[in-house]
Amino acid sequence: MTNWPESLVIELAARRCIIFLGSGTSLSATKRTAGGDQNPPTWKGFLEILRDGHNRGDQGDLEIANGLLAGEKYLDCAEVLRTTCIHDADYGRLLARTFEGYRPTDIHSHIEKIDQKIVVSTNYDSLYEDQCRQGDGADGYVVLNYYDEGLLARMRSPKRLIIKAHGSVARPEATVLTRSDYFAAREKYQGFYKILESLFLTHTLLFIGYSLSDPDVQLLLENTSITAQSAHPHYALMAQGIHPAMRAAFSNTYNVEILEFDPANNYADFGASLEALAALVLEQREDQPNE
């Protein structure tokens, strides 16, 4: 079970934390298919789907993409696949087929119970939004993509914000998959990213469902201002087995403290750790009701 720092629990209880959701939060979701229950893919898995669905380019392009994939250079692999190996219409079809139709899990329920003002998702699926839109609290949430206007206005409202930092299956042409996509989005929607970066400077960040090799977390850490010195660290929940040198690098470079969970038994400890965190946060709020 993850050992949650008291300082993080206090920040979450006071809603001074921004939660980032990566692909790991969706991996246990399922949907029924002709071949049986199916789970969403990892970043690598989605790139393999795009590679296998290629319909243009030559064998040399595919060989380059395969080499980049094998070397875990996922952003570069995505660049080659999107620009040379697959038509836009087919990309949208594969994106929808890959990420639509899943049901939220206990993971999403635990995160909803932590109840932060802002949750940022780099996932294309709508699992967390679907979880939050259930029941009586459905009207208390607003979903904003990076290309939508009104982030500042929504910050001043009592509603909870779900920010889709890389877009969604609803607009395949606007999804952020490659390095070029990311920088094009930042150039075109500078106001959105400036507001988001200012929030990073005033909030504690908690990354859930990412790995050290995940391009999403690399982009977020490399292209935001969260490296500003602060007495309060940010946190990332990741599977056990991270080398001490990499832990130190994340701490020294990004001020991110890595918290580990046991990935055995189909990641059961991942869900149990988040359930325990939600309980600690709710207990803290009861002890300090004015927070």
Task: Give Cα 93 to chain centroid, integer Å.
Answer: 22
Domain with 72 in it: 41-99
Same domain membership, residue 120 and residue 187: yes
C-alpha span between 44 and 73 (Å, rounded): 10
- Is 1 a domain residue? no
Render pLDDT for 35-87 as a digit per residue (tens, 0 to 9). 888 999 988 999 999 999 887 777 888 999 999 999 989 999 999 999 999 88
Same domain membership, residue 173 and residue 86: no
C-alpha span between 38 and 31 (Å, rounded): 5
Render pLDDT for 105-130 as a digit per residue (tens, 0 to 9). 999 999 999 999 999 999 999 999 99
- Is 35 a domain residue? no
- As a whole number of Å, the end-to-end CA separation of the chain is 27
Same domain membership, residue 124 and residue 16: yes
Same domain membership, residue 196 and residue 124: yes
The CATH number that applies at residue 173 is 3.40.50.1220
Number of structural domains (the chain) is 2
